[in-house]
Structure formats: C-alpha cells, structure tokens
C-alpha cells in the first residue's frame, strides 16, 4: 500500500451484525507523551458533567485479561517481534471491543478510548514495517468491524512528546525506542488520519492544554449532534 498518497481503505463497511448502535465511539490517538490520556480524562469528565452516559476505555488494558497483556506488551522485560506485538495488541482489542466497547455502545454510551486501532497502524505498521493492508484486516477482525466514529489525533514532535515523559513512571517499551521510531509512528498516525477525512481530526498536541481541550470539545459537540445526541450547553 502506498503510504504517501491519498489511500482509501475498504473500511468502514456495514457491520455484519449488531448495527446500528445507539452510542458513539471516540478514539484519542498519538505517540506517547502527546497528551492523549490528559485529553481523554477531561473529555470523560466533561461528558459526565453534561449527564451523558460515558464509558472510558483504553488500549491496551481495559479488561482484566487486557491488563495482563498490557504488562507483557509494555514492560521492557521481553522483546516481542513486531508480529507478536501485532497479535497481542489485536488480542487485547478483540477482548475490549467485545466486552467493553460493544456493550457500552449498545447501551447508548459515548465511549472515549485512550488509544484505539490507529496505534497498530502507527507502531507495528509504519514504525515496525508490517504491511498496513494486513493490519487493516487484523483490525477489522479484532473489532468485528467496529470503527471509531470520531478520532482525535494529538500530533506532537517526538522530541517534545518524549521530553514530557522523561523520568515518568509511565514510560513504556515503545517510549524507549529512538526518535526515528517515534517519527515513523507519528507519520503512521497522520497517514491514518488522512485516510479518514470524514471522522479524523489532527490537533496540535504541543498547544496549551486548555486550548486543545476547548477545540476537542467543539469537535465532539459537533459529532454528537451529527449522531443525534441532545447535547446540553454548559
């Protein structure tokens, strides 16, 4: 698959089963240190304050099984090859999708996912060399075809993102990789966003936290309205 031009994926197609759902799936994506968790937590809190049904999810590690996978994936004790990483991230995704995301969407919740399927395109695809077309197929299989309705990509220079995580206990095996690896992953996120012009927004992760949040609020409000949610002004 060409990585530089406009590329169309054959996704989302109609899901085989279980559609439509009442809820909305929002993914926050980026390389480590760009501010995803900060933004995702603020979005969850804001939506709760609006009295909307919200479920916070994350990848990897939203389930008890996934917490074990997260440990295996992110701690530096092991050296999984890219394919092993890809399958384990997809295993976590399958578990999370089936047991956290789908039930929440069926209940009409807004799901805010701290990382989602773009990460595998970015890290295992762009940064580690696995063919993105194959990752698309794996993602589709793991999610049963559930694609995020809205994707917020927190874009930031790898130097800045890594600097923010310097000395952090939350630094993981992927954050330890060199700047070229981070830069390739960043390109992967931007590539994935380019393929999704109808639902992906690239935000400046280097900007002040409140500015990023205010912009994200506007985008989420618009998406909620477009999907038929009554959003109180507050």
Ligand X SMILES: Nc1ncnc2c1ncn2[C@@H]1O[C@H](COP(=O)(O)OP(=O)(O)OP(=O)(O)O)[C@@H](O)[C@H]1O
Interface contacts to ligand X, rule CB under 6 A:
30, 32-38, 164-165, 170, 175, 207-209, 212
> Does 63 participate in binding Mg ion (rule CB under 5 A)?
no
In angstroms, give the least distance from the CB of 161 to ligand X.
7
- Out of Mg ion, ligand X, none, what residue 49 binds, judged by CB under 5 to 8 A for its kind, is none
Cβ proximity to Mg ion, 85 vs 102, nearer residue: 85
Q: What is the largest CA-CA distance in the chain?
A: 49
Cβ proximity to ligand X, 21 vs 40, nearer residue: 40
Nearest position to Mg ion, beta carbon: 37
Contacts to Mg ion from residues 170-229, by CB under 5 A: none
> Does 37 participate in binding Mg ion (rule CB under 5 A)?
yes
In angstroms, give the least distance from the CB of 35 to ligand X.
3
Q: SS3 of 203, please?
A: strand
Burial of 182 (0-12, 13-18, 19+ CB in 10 A): buried
Span of 36-44, 94-102, 178-186, 224-232 interacting with Mg ion by CB under 5 A: 36-44
Span of 34-42, 73-81, 142-150, 183-191 interacting with Mg ion by CB under 5 A: 34-42
Given a contact cutoff of 8 angstroms between Cβ atoms, the answer to whether 82 and 52 are in contact is: no
Positive/negative CA dihedral, 211, 54, 190, 69: positive
**What pairs with residue 56 in β-bridges?**
112
Q: How far is CA 32 from CA 50, 91, 152, 172, 205, in A?
A: 29, 21, 14, 9, 11
Q: How far apart are CA 41 and CA 100, in angstroms?
A: 17
Q: Could you give phi then psi for residue 154, rounded to 5 degrees?
A: -90, 100
Cβ proximity to ligand X, 22 vs 170, nearer residue: 170
Cβ proximity to ligand X, 21 vs 182, nearer residue: 182
For 126, half-sphere exposure in the C-beta direction (CA atoms, 13 angstrom radius) is 23
Cβ proximity to ligand X, 110 vs 161, nearer residue: 161
Span of 35-43, 86-94, 137-145, 155-163 interacting with Mg ion by CB under 5 A: 35-43
Cβ proximity to Mg ion, 37 vs 99, nearer residue: 37
- Out of Mg ion, ligand X, none, what residue 188 binds, judged by CB under 5 to 8 A for its kind, is none
Burial of 217 (0-12, 13-18, 19+ CB in 10 A): middle
Given the rule CB under 5 A, which residues bind Mg ion? 36-37
């Amino acid at each position: 698959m060409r990585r530089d031009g406009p590329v169309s994926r054959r996704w989302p197609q109609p899901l085989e089963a279980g559609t439509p759902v009442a809820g909305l799936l929002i993914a926050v994506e980026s390389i480590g240190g760009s501010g995803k968790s900060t933004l995702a937590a603020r979005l969850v809190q804001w939506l709760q304050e609006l009295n909307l049904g919200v479920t916070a999810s994350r990848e990897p590690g939203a389930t008890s099984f996934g917490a074990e996978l997260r440990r295996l994936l992110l701690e530096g004790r092991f050296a999984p090859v890219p394919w092993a990483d890809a399958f384990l991230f997809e295993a976590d995704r399958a578990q999370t999708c089936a047991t956290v995301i789908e039930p929440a969407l069926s209940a009409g919740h807004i799901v805010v996912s701290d990382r989602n399927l773009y990460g595998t395109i970015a890290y295992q695809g762009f940064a580690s060399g696995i063919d993105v077309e194959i990752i698309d197929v794996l993602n589709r299989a793991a999610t049963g075809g559930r694609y995020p309705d809205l994707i917020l990509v927190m874009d930031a220079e790898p130097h800045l993102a890594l600097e923010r995580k310097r000395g952090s206990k939350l630094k993981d095996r992927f954050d330890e990789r060199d700047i070229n690896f981070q830069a390739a992953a960043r390109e992967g996120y931007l590539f994935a966003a380019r393929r999704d012009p109808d639902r992906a927004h690239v935000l400046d992760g280097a900007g002040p936290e409140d500015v990023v949040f205010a912009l994200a609020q506007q985008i989420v409000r618009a998406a909620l309205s477009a999907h038929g949610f009554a959003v109180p002004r507050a």
